[in-house]
């Protein structure tokens, strides 16, 4: 009688034992939990937006077209193909000048913005890689002057909000004759009226985005240039290969992976950018989405889905190429003494050129913003010709009684404005919450994935955490907008924190994974053997050793969150956080306010970055590249 | 202070058997080395005993207490096994001083009946009941002082690991491992990161340490010299399978098969293929090295026929372990090297029971004026204390060692003989040792004359 029982327990015990062993390792438990949570938090909002394309929206075109049906059945629960059929098959009549033109709906609402988006993304990639790559080469491989100064100012545009350069472009080049609005500095002071294509549209948007993402290319490509084993190039030199051939056949292929990862990221980021095309008036998928969000909500969701498909496409390309990237790991050898390329007289020309360029992109915006807050009227640069007194004002900053001043729209000055203070508080709260959550989750993912390198589940968790990285911000924002509206948490910090965390986990997980991979497993095993509990191992061993890159993993989400507009603007009202507030003042025409807020934001971010860098050695660029200089030092300690 | 027993331990990843049905008893107070070529499963074995790796099947006990049993569902995690582990690259925590490195694990101990003697030795009262206690700061400091004295690192206690040399780091790692008073000390190639001179020094210190602590040491190495000099017993593993588990000199003198004979000993053993059979007087008359005839006399009475029968019946008796998955890394008969001038080896097909291999250690090949073997010097490598000579006999190369200051010229004609009673006779069919004994060589011409 007892035989079958014994047999059964004999069979069950090894299974039980396995399960117990599996769960006795904290990394397995964390991976399991995070895998499930991230799958839901990342995939579910994306699914809701797909579902949204076949839903009826009250007050939207699909509802009025289906008016007959919607009266009988409940709104919102009805499934309709209208959004798709209307978008792809119907025509629409629009006014172009005096003529009425009939076009297909798709060409107006989809193909034109899509084409613009793709063009902007392609040009932004090319520009960023050329500008950033050339700069990286000059800084790392030649005897350029003032490298320290140049390389720190060069990354300013990436630290600053995206629209900074767009607003700078407008305040410099805008021309009332060509594009309306107030005249920029060139027009009002120099009398130089630039053509429309220079003032707005594809060209300035591409240039601004390229400048914004060039630091990214510089950090990634420069990292490889810096670590590249010089003997690879010297070997080619010994074989009497001409210099240009060495560059094309040896150097460039080695930089290829960095170029590729820049392309992948810049492409989707440029596609998802809203403020730049918005300020510089280009019709892209993002601006089109915002425009259609009210009247054609279902079709707007289709645009968001299309943007996401681009994200998936990029993810697939990324996966294809990362598998081949292993071939390049030998590149990061110990580089010995490397002789810098002598530029000769060009050294001074290039130094001057880049000093001017970085001044324009890094310092000038701050100066411009500051100036604008003292102008009596937007675009009124009369103080340059007529002297400071009487032509500048402090009213935008210090007014306490708004009724007494003209042009304040009933707002108190920036320093005393409770709305602005509130929005700053909100942004700070949001940034701290997102940084803590994203940083911690990213750290755990990096730790657990590095512990379970062979596990397929770990690879999946890593991928799913990485996915939002390659999703255009606006698409992620749209997904969370639809999700938040249906869940009833629209305009709450909960929704903002959720979206921010999901979007920024990749920043943290990437740098954490990179640093954890460099930490030999024995370092922790030495503590396991001595019966030191997991939390103590993390707090006293793992985290202190890799603290620099871990702090970078918290810093990057924090900084990005401070200046994020695209992701959050769909999710909350205007006064909740500072970037939406800024955008609101800009719409109102209170340019001094938006410039003032921008100034505070930019200066704040620069100060925090510098402080953290000085105190801990962590910095945004080491967060992006995942290979800080100081980590190497630490690691040589670990391996003895 | 512990006896470790492994029975039928297997670890596989898919079809790759890293450790294959290993059974082993490590006696209390032993110094056992796990030896084998890289990738043979020795580190995996060590990590399984320590609990850092989970075996697929089998049973491991420490001090009679099962710490792993796949059938009973027992798996004591590494941190509860009370063992010490010394890592190959020391794994010192770079963010802590030497003192903190040693004290960190101590501050974490929490047991009933825990105390520290005046000398700084940790005492555990196994019968103590009641409240678990932690060590006080003073007690921890006493222990730190004691272990740092053992490995002579007191001057460096307040330095960081990055500020120490490789040898000092090694000592710190040892001190950290010794501090909590582990029952067993596991070491994973602890000396491989040190330079040759320091390695020799640390080797002797490890031996002293074993002597003074009286703990059980299990030591992984791929260096046969290290294994020979340190161990009380060597466990030689190849392809996840235990080859021989014996005292060093037994392994050297009576290797159970050609793999063991070849792996242990530097310069390596000479293998000479021979064909012939056992005569009525029990001696083997074999034709070797193309032209020579050799007579092998076993040091104990043996019958080749009986030996083969015994082997067959033993093979039949041994239960093949159940394999849920076929072994990808199949066990093949070891291809012992027969060194020739051209590098070409004889074919090994169609082996009959009359095919044998003779194993001659280099020190048994002695160069003398009237030796029966004739050859010329192929290469000579003097080290001062002894000279390793490679001698060409026909197409074959034999290695010999001669002590003293003799200079050999390449191409010089010399004669030699095979001396000693430690000559090994292996069966070519299964590579196993048949017996050891003496070997007398005869040139066919002399044979004719006699």
B278: domain CATH number is 2.40.50.140
Judged by CB atoms closer than 8 Å, whether chains meet at A526 and B162 is answered as: no
Unique residue bearing structure tokens 């930089």: A255
- Specify the CATH superfamily of domain A107-292+343-369: MetI-like (1.10.3720.10)
How is residue A42 annotated by DSSP?
A: I
| Calpha distance B282→B261 (Å, rounded) | 24
Residue B187 banded pLDDT, cuts 50, 70, 90? very high
Percent of chain A at pLDDT > 90 equals 18
Partner residue opposite B83 with nearest CB, options A520, A529, A540: A529
User: Does any CB of chain B come closer than 8 Å to the CB of residue A346?
Assistant: no
User: Does any CB of chain B come closer than 8 Å to the CB of residue A13?
Assistant: yes
Unique residue bearing structure tokens 């107070």: B29
The H or E element containing residue A252 is helix A252-271
Partner residue opposite A640 with nearest CB, options B74, B82, B169: B169
User: Does any CB of chain B come closer than 8 Å to the CB of residue A639?
Assistant: yes
Please report whether residue B259 resides in a domain: no
Are B245 and B287 within one domain? no
Are B147 and B201 within one domain? yes
Pair B384, B401: CB distance under 8 Å: no
Are B178 and B274 within one domain? no
Judged by CB atoms closer than 8 Å, whether chains meet at B85 and A526 is answered as: yes
Are B405 and B378 within one domain? yes
Are B195 and B79 within one domain? yes
CA distance A507 to chain B (A): 25
Q: Taking CA atoms, what residue in A is nearest to B103? A: A530
Q: Taking CA atoms, what residue in B is nearest to A16? A: B73
| Calpha distance B319→A533 (Å, rounded) | 42
Percent of chain A at pLDDT > 70 equals 86
User: Does any CB of chain B come closer than 8 Å to the CB of residue A631?
Assistant: no
| Calpha distance A270→A13 (Å, rounded) | 55
Q: Taking CA atoms, what residue in A is nearest to B52? A: A525
Q: What share of chain A is helix, strand, coil (3-state, %, to 5)?
A: 75, 0, 20
A22-31, A50-59, A457-466, B43-52: least confident range = A50-59
User: Does any CB of chain B come closer than 8 Å to the CB of residue A420?
Assistant: no
CA distance A454 to chain B (A): 11
Are B231 and B304 within one domain? no
| Calpha distance A570→A566 (Å, rounded) | 8
Q: Is the pLDDT of residue A181 over 80?
A: no
CA distance B180 to chain A (A): 8
C-alpha torsion sign, points A18, A21, A27, A29 = positive
Q: Taking CA atoms, what residue in B is nearest to A531? A: B79
Judged by CB atoms closer than 8 Å, whether chains meet at A14 and B70 is answered as: yes
Name the token pair of A571: 């999710």
Judged by CB atoms closer than 8 Å, whether chains meet at A530 and B180 is answered as: yes
Contacts of A540 in chain B (CB under 8 A): 93, 96, 104
Q: Which residues of A126-156 are buried (b: 16+ CB within 10 A; e: fewer)?
A: ebbbebbbbbbbbbbbbebeeeeebbbbbbb
3-state secondary structure of A139: helix
Q: For residue B184, what are the contacts with CB-CB under 8 A and spacing of at least 6?
A: B1, B2, B4, B49, B62, B83, B84, B215, B216, B217, B218
The model's pLDDT over A471-526, given as tens digits with 9 standing for 90+, comes to: 888 889 999 998 888 888 888 999 999 999 999 998 888 888 888 888 888 888 88
Name the token pair of A475: 């698409």
User: Does any CB of chain B come closer than 8 Å to the CB of residue A632?
Assistant: no
What's the pLDDT score for residue A624?
63
Name the token pair of A226: 């810096």
Q: Going edge to edge, which strands form the sheet with B386-393?
A: B365-367, B413-418, B373-382, B386-393, B396-403
Task: Tell me what the pLDDT averaged over chain A comes to.
Answer: 81
What's the pLDDT score for residue B350?
65
Q: Chain B residues within 8 A (CB-CB) of chain A? A: 50, 52, 54, 70-75, 77-80, 82-85, 87-96, 104-105, 108-109, 160-162, 166, 169, 176, 180, 193
Q: Which has more pLDDT, A386 or B116? A: B116
What's the pLDDT score for residue A334?
42
Judged by CB atoms closer than 8 Å, whether chains meet at A527 and B105 is answered as: yes
Contacts of B72 in chain A (CB under 8 A): 13
> What number of CA atoms fall less than 13 Å from residue A312's CA on the CB side?
9
A36 C-beta neighbours (distance < 10 Å), count: 11
A54-63, A605-614, A629-638, B185-194: least confident range = A629-638
Contacts of A636 in chain B (CB under 8 A): 162
Partner residue opposite A13 with nearest CB, options B72, B87, B162: B72
Q: What is the DSSP string of B267-313?
A: SPPEEEEEEEEE-TTS-EEEEETTTEEEEEEESS---HHHHHHHHHH
Unique residue bearing structure tokens 């259609």: A292
The backbone region for A97, taken as left when phi is positive above 0, alpha when psi lies in -120 to 50, beta otherwise, is: left
Judged by CB atoms closer than 8 Å, whether chains meet at B84 and A634 is answered as: no
What's the pLDDT score for residue A121?
94
Please report whether residue B204 resides in a domain: yes
Q: Where are the beta strands (DSSP E) in B114-263?
A: 114-116, 122-124, 184-188, 216-221, 233-238, 241-246
For every residue of A144-172, which 3-state class applies, written as one string? CCCHHHHHHHHCHHHHCCCHHHHHHHHHH
Q: Taking CA atoms, what residue in A is nearest to B89? A: A639
Contacts of A533 in chain B (CB under 8 A): 108
Residue B42 banded pLDDT, cuts 50, 70, 90? very high
The H or E element containing residue B402 is strand B396-403
CA distance B227 to chain A (A): 23
Q: Is the pLDDT of residue A32 over 50?
A: yes
Unique residue bearing structure tokens 């050294």: A347
Using alpha carbons only, how large is chain A's radius of gyration in Å?
27
User: Does any CB of chain B come closer than 8 Å to the CB of residue A539?
Assistant: no
Are B288 and B243 within one domain? no
Q: Taking CA atoms, what residue in A is nearest to B180? A: A530
User: Does any CB of chain B come closer than 8 Å to the CB of residue A531?
Assistant: yes
The ranges of chain A annotated as CATH 1.10.3720.10 are 107-292+343-369, 417-640
Pair B48, B11: CB distance under 8 Å: yes
The model's pLDDT over B299-334, given as tens digits with 9 standing for 90+, comes to: 888 888 888 888 888 888 876 667 788 888 888 888
> What number of CA atoms fall less than 13 Å from residue B160's CA on the CB side?
10
Are B200 and B286 within one domain? no
Please report whether residue B261 resides in a domain: no
User: Does any CB of chain B come closer than 8 Å to the CB of residue A385?
Assistant: no
Percent of chain B at pLDDT > 90 equals 36
Contacts of B77 in chain A (CB under 8 A): 24, 528
Q: Is the pLDDT of residue A419 over 50?
A: yes
Interface test mutation site (partner A, options B47, B93, B160, B176, max chain A beta carbons within 10 A): B93
Please report whether residue B258 resides in a domain: no
> What number of CA atoms fall less than 13 Å from residue B249's CA on the CB side?
1
User: Does any CB of chain B come closer than 8 Å to the CB of residue A543?
Assistant: no
What's the pLDDT score for residue A625?
59
- CA dihedral of A169, A174, A179, A180, whole degrees rounded to 10: 130
Interface test mutation site (partner A, options B47, B91, B192, max chain A beta carbons within 10 A): B91
What's the pLDDT score for residue B444?
65
> Please, what is the Cα angle at B224 between B221 and B225, to 5 degrees?
110
CA distance B331 to chain A (A): 26
The model's pLDDT over B51-97, given as tens digits with 9 standing for 90+, comes to: 888 898 999 999 889 999 988 888 888 888 888 899 888 888 988 89
- Specify the CATH superfamily of domain A417-640: MetI-like (1.10.3720.10)
Please report whether residue B338 resides in a domain: yes
User: Does any CB of chain B come closer than 8 Å to the CB of residue A65?
Assistant: no
What's the pLDDT score for residue A1?
37
Name the token pair of A367: 């100066």
Judged by CB atoms closer than 8 Å, whether chains meet at A14 and B73 is answered as: yes
Residue A325 banded pLDDT, cuts 50, 70, 90? very low
Residues linked to residue B186 through DSSP beta bridges, in sequence order: B85, B218
Pair A316, A113: CB distance under 8 Å: no
Q: For residue A317, what are the contacts with CB-CB under 8 A and spacing of at least 6?
A: A264
User: Does any CB of chain B come closer than 8 Å to the CB of residue A520?
Assistant: yes
Interface test mutation site (partner A, options B73, B92, B198, max chain A beta carbons within 10 A): B73
The model's pLDDT over A248-299, given as tens digits with 9 standing for 90+, comes to: 887 788 788 788 878 888 898 898 899 999 888 889 989 988 888 877 888 8
The model's pLDDT over A212-243, given as tens digits with 9 standing for 90+, comes to: 999 988 888 887 787 776 667 777 777 777 77
Are B218 and B335 within one domain? no
What's the pLDDT score for residue A337?
47
Contacts of A536 in chain B (CB under 8 A): 108
Number of domains in chain B: 2
Are B38 and B64 within one domain? yes
Name the token pair of A288: 């089109």
Angle between helices A547-562 and A418-451 (to 10 degrees): 140
Please report whether residue B283 resides in a domain: yes
Which range of residues forms the domain containing residue B40?
Answer: 4-253
Q: What mean pLDDT do residues B284-292 have?
A: 86
Judged by CB atoms closer than 8 Å, whether chains meet at A530 and B95 is answered as: no
Residues in A 560-619 with any Cβ partner in B closer than 8 A? none
User: Which candidate, A390, A413, A639, A385, places its Cα nearest to that of A521?
Assistant: A639
Please report whether residue B347 resides in a domain: no
How is residue A94 annotated by DSSP?
A: E
pTM of the model: 0.80
| Calpha distance A428→A601 (Å, rounded) | 11
The model's pLDDT over A299-315, given as tens digits with 9 standing for 90+, comes to: 888 888 998 898 888 88
- Label the pairing between strands B216-221 and B184-188: parallel
Residue A470 banded pLDDT, cuts 50, 70, 90? confident
Residue A639 banded pLDDT, cuts 50, 70, 90? very low
Please report whether residue B260 resides in a domain: no
Q: Is the pLDDT of residue A428 over 90?
A: yes
Q: What mean pLDDT do residues A527-544 have?
A: 89
- In Å, what is the CA distance from A53 to each residue of A174, A294, A485? 38, 14, 14
User: Does any CB of chain B come closer than 8 Å to the CB of residue A59?
Assistant: no
| Calpha distance B252→B266 (Å, rounded) | 10
Are B92 and B33 within one domain? yes
Contacts of B71 in chain A (CB under 8 A): 10, 13-14
Q: What is the DSSP string of A589-640?
A: T-HHHHHHHHHHHHHHHHHHHHHHHHHHS--HHHHHHS--HHHHHHHHHHT-
Are B303 and B220 within one domain? no
Judged by CB atoms closer than 8 Å, whether chains meet at B85 and A525 is answered as: yes
């Amino acid at each position: 009688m007892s035989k079958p029982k014994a047999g059964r327990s004999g069979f069950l015990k090894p299974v039980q034992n396995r399960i117990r062993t599996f769960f006795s390792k904290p990394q397995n438990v964390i991976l399991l939990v995070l895998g499930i949570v991230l799958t839901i938090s990342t995939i579910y909002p994306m699914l809701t937006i797909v579902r949204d394309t076949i839903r009826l929206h009250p007050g939207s075109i699909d509802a009025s077209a289906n008016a007959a049906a919607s009266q009988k059945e409940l709104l919102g629960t009805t499934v309709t193909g209208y959004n798709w059929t209307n978008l792809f098959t119907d025509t629409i009549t629009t006014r172009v000048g005096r003529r009425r033109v009939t076009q297909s709906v798709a060409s107006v609402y989809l193909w034109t913005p899509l084409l613009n988006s793709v063009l902007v993304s392609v040009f932004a990639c090319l520009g960023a890689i050329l500008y950033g790559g050339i700069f990286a080469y000059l800084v790392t491989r030649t005897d350029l002057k003032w490298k320290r100064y140049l390389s720190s100012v060069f990354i300013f545009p990436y630290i600053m909000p995206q629209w900074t350069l767009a607003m700078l472009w407008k305040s410099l080049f805008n021309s009332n004759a060509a594009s309306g609005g107030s005249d920029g500095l060139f027009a009002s002071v120099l009398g130089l009226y630039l053509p429309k294509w220079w003032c707005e549209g594809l060209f300035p948007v591409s240039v601004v985005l390229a400048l914004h993402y060039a630091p990214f290319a510089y950090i990634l490509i420069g990292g490889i240039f810096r670590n590249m084993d010089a003997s690879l190039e010297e070997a080619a030199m010994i074989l009497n290969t001409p210099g240009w051939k060495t560059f094309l056949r040896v150097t460039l292929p080695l930089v290829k992976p960095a170029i590729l990862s820049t392309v992948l990221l810049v492409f989707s980021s440029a596609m998802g950018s809203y403020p730049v095309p918005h300020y510089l008036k280009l019709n892209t998928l993002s601006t089109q989405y915002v425009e259609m969000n009210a009247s054609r909500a279902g079709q707007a969701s289709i645009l968001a889905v299309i943007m996401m498909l681009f994200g998936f496409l990029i993810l697939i390309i990324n996966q294809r190429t990362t598998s081949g990237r292993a071939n390049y790991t030998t590149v990061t050898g110990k580089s010995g003494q490397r002789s810098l390329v002598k530029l000769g007289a060009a050294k001074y020309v290039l130094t001057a050129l880049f000093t001017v360029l970085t001044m324009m992109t890094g310092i000038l915006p701050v100066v411009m913003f500051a100036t604008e807050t003292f102008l009596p009227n937007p675009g009124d640069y009369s103080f340059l010709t007529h002297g400071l007194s009487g032509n500048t004002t402090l009213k935008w900053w210090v007014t306490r009684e708004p009724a007494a001043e003209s042009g304040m729209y009933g707002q108190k000055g920036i320093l005393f404005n409770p709305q602005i203070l509130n929005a700053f508080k909100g942004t700070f709260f949001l940034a701290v919450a997102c940084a803590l959550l994203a940083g911690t989750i990213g750290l755990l993912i990096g730790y657990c994935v590095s512990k379970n390198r062979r596990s397929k589940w770990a690879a999946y968790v890593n991928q799913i955490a990485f996915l939002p990285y390659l999703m255009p911000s606006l698409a992620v924002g749209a997904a969370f907008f639809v999700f938040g509206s249906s869940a009833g948490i629209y305009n709450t910090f909960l929704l903002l924190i959720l979206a921010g965390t999901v979007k920024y986990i990749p920043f943290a997980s990437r740098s954490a994974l990179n640093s954890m991979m460099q930490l030999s497993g024995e370092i922790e095993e030495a503590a396991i053997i001595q019966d030191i509990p997991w939390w103590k191992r993390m707090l006293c061993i793992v985290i202190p050793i890799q603290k620099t890159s871990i702090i970078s993993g918290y810093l990057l989400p924090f900084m990005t969150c401070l200046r994020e507009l695209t992701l959050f603007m769909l999710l909350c009202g205007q006064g909740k956080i500072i970037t939406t507030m800024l955008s609101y003042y800009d719409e109102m025409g209170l340019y001094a306010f938006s410039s003032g807020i921008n100034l505070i934001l930019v200066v704040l971010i620069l100060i925090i970055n510098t402080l953290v860098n000085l105190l801990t050695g962590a910095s945004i660029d080491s967060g992006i590249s995942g290979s800080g200089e100081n980590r190497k030092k630490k690691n040589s300690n670990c391996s003895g | 202070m512990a006896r470790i027993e492994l029975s039928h331990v297997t670890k596989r990843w898919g079809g790759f058997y890293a450790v294959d049905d290993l059974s082993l008893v490590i006696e209390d107070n032993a110094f056992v080395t796990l030896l084998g070529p890289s990738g043979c499963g020795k580190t995996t074995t060590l990590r399984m005993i320590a609990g850092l790796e989970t075996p697929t099947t089998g049973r491991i006990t420490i001090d009679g207490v099962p710490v792993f049993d796949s059938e009973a569902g027992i798996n004591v995690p590494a941190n509860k096994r009370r063992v010490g582990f010394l890592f190959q690259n020391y794994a010192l925590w770079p963010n802590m001083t030497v003192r903190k490195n040693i004290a960190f694990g101590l501050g974490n101990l929490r047991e009933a009946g825990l105390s520290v003697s005046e000398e700084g030795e940790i005492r555990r009262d196994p019968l103590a009941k009641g409240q678990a206690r932690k060590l006080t700061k003073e007690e921890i400091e006493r222990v730190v002082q004691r272990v740092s004295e053992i490995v002579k690192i007191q001057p460096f206690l307040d330095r960081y690991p990055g500020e120490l040399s490789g040898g000092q780091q090694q000592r710190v790692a040892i001190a950290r491992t010794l501090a909590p008073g582990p029952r067993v000390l596991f070491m994973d190639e602890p000396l491989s990161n040190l330079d040759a001179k320091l390695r020799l020094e640390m080797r002797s210190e490890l031996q002293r340490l074993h002597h003074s602590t009286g703990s059980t040491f299990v030591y992984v190495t791929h260096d046969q010299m290290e294994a020979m000099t340190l161990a009380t017993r060597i466990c030689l593993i190849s392809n996840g399978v235990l080859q021989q588990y014996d005292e060093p000199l037994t392994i050297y003198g009576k290797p159970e098969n050609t793999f063991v004979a070849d792996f242990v000993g530097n310069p390596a053993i000479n293998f000479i293929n021979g064909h012939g059979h056992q005569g009525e007087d029990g001696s083997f008359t074999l034709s070797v090295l193309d032209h020579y005839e050799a007579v092998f006399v076993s040091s104990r009475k043996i019958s080749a026929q009986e030996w083969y029968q015994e082997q067959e019946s033993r093979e039949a008796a041994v239960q093949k372990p159940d394999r849920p998955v076929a072994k990808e890394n199949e066990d093949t008969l070891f291809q012992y090297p027969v060194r020739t001038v051209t590098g070409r080896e004889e074919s090994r097909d169609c082996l009959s029971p009359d095919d044998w291999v003779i194993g001659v250690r280099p020190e048994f090949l002695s160069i003398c004026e009237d030796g029966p073997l004739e050859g010329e010097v192929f290469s000579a490598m003097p080290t001062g204390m002894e000279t390793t000579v490679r001698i060409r006999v026909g197409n074959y190369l034999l290695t010999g060692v001669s002590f003293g200051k003799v200079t050999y010229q390449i191409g010089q004609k010399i004669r030699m003989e095979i001396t000693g009673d430690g000559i090994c006779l292996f069966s070519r069919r299964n590579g196993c040792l048949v017996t050891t004994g003496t070997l007398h060589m005869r040139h066919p011409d002399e044979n004719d004359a006699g």
